[in-house]
Amino acid sequence: MTDPETRFQHLVARLKAHDCRMTPQRVALLRLIAASEGHPSAMHLYEQIKAQFPTTSLATVYKTLDLLREIGEVLELGFSNDDNRYDGNKPYPHPHLICIRCRKIIDPPVTLIESLTQEVTRLTGYQVLSHRLDFYGLCPDCQQGAQERETTAPDIQTPTRQKE
Amino acid sequence: MTDPETRFQHLVARLKAHDCRMTPQRVALLRLIAASEGHPSAMHLYEQIKAQFPTTSLATVYKTLDLLREIGEVLELGFSNDDNRYDGNKPYPHPHLICIRCRKIIDPPVTLIESLTQEVTRLTGYQVLSHRLDFYGLCPDCQQGAQERETTAPDIQTPTRQKE
DNA sequence: GTGCTTGCAAACAGTTTGCAGATAG
DNA sequence: CTATCTGCAAACTGTTTGCAAGCAC
């Protein structure tokens, strides 16, 4: 992964190339996104940026994230139950590992996806353009106090539709 | 895949085992779910069932789907952009192939997922309980009139969070 | 100065919930 | 008879949009 400052500069350059203006709020947001290790939500970014610019609105955060997503610099992980998460460092499809208890999201080291994609393309006649692979489970920290779990059902996951 | 009538009987039995009552609306819904080839949305099921019971409400459809999901008889595919889809025939995690133009969803023949899950478990220390794998692309039908596409960005997909 | 951006508030969509009346068992 | 179920409508949540004022360039 590139270092945050380099990534930040890249994001600035990409936006400028798209005739976007660099407002202070936007610059601060880009810094946050470039520096975010995990997969922050819009609300999370909003709360961070309010520390610097108290009048910033959530809508601005969403608009900037949308902008970055449109130019392919941010990956949006949509969740129908929960708020979406954003990855500004690896804006291309890659597997995620999501703790169902603490909601932490990490990038597991998984290979083989490309071969799966090719397999699907070959067998179905679809032109496969993208994919999404999420694993759900308990992170090491959450496995300890997890004995009382055994709630209802396995209750499977639920991704979001890709936009056209 | 089991035939619809067998699947229907199974769903009835499972619900009765959970002290659920078999109202006419519910029976009709179970038939629809058992017979659905694709991955219907709640709205789609609602529109179908209204043909038989015009006063049925969307809330009833959602409540029944929730019930079935809780006892592990329906897989919910949540989408943050679009309405959720339900699979009442294969209620366990399995890959989906989603056309980004016509929204058709099919089950591609993919193996290897289990080995991926094991790989993730081994390498991360997470207890992997479930997963979700979606491929996005253009189905054969939609590939033809698809030249004028080339819209904005690849615009990646966006799954839903698994409920706890 | 021009027009993109902000921030507020209202709109939005799909889903969920509360509750009174209906009904399966 | 009684606990569940239905159907309506209102609530909810995260996200999006419209628009007037503000600001980058």
- List the A15 CA – D25 C1' distance (angstroms): 14
- Token pair 């909003």 is at which residue? A46
| Residues B110/A126, Cβ–Cβ less than 8 Å | no
- What is Dmax (Cα atoms) for chain B? 54
Q: Which residues of chain B have a CB within 8 Å of the CB of A15?
A: none
- pTM equals 0.88
**pLDDT tens digit sequence for A6-30:** 999 999 999 999 999 999 999 999 9
- Helix B58-70 with B4-17: angle, nearest 10 deg: 80
**DSSP line for A87-138:** ESS--S---EEEETTT--EE------HHHHHHHHHHHH--EEEEEEEEEEEE
Give the residue among B133, B38, B110, B134 at the shortest CA–CA distance from A120. B110
**pLDDT tens digit sequence for A69-110:** 999 999 999 999 999 999 999 999 999 999 999 999 999 988
A156 has pLDDT over 90:
no
Q: Does B127 touch chain A (CB under 8 A)?
A: yes
Q: Which residues of chain B have a CB within 8 Å of the CB of A67?
A: none
| The residue type at A81 | N
**pLDDT tens digit sequence for B85-124:** 999 999 999 999 999 999 999 999 887 788 889 889 999 9
Q: Does B118 touch chain A (CB under 8 A)?
A: no
Q: Say yes or no: Cβ of A21 under 7 A from any atom of strand D.
A: yes
Nearest to A157 among B110, B153, B160 (CB): B160
Q: Which residues of B98-136 are buried (b: 16+ CB within 10 A; e: fewer)?
A: bbbbebebbbbebeebeebbebbbeebebbbbbbbbbbb
